[in-house]
Amino acid sequence: MARPLICIGILTLAIAIGLTAADGDCSNDMKNLATKCMPYVAYPPNLKIAPSKDCCGAVQNCDMKCVCGHINKEIEKLICMEKVVYVAGACGRPLAKGSKCGSYQVPPI
């Protein structure tokens, strides 16, 4: 049951990303992250799972500033921003404390 929901989430996220990053700025990065990291950034926020090597590879090879700049409210409905921060840190690319990713402000702690 959970697997089909994740597939639907990835498809919905890919569509939202395509609409958001149609310019091609970092749309490939966003699609790669959606494909490889969705299980680790999906709701609920209290269930944090260590990201896979594939997910971390996508995180390490993306333009995170560009990706964060293209995350809109529609995408934020599909992913847990707390988990995005967790995954970025777990993959060795922590987001700067106090910075913004989408409308989410990374906690200063």
Which tens digits make up the pLDDT trace of 82-103?
999 999 999 999 999 999 999 9
Give Cβ neighbours of residue 58 (< 8 Å, ≥ 6 apart).
Answer: 29, 32, 33, 35, 36, 37
- CB contact at 8 A, 56 and 91: yes
Residue 58 has pLDDT above 50, yes or no: yes
pTM above 0.85, yes or no: no
Residue 10 has pLDDT above 60, yes or no: no
Q: What is the mean pLDDT of the chain?
A: 85
Give the start-to-end residue ranges of the domains of the chain.
2-105
Cα–Cα distance for residue pair 80/18, rounded to 1 Å: 19
Residue 74 has pLDDT above 80, yes or no: yes
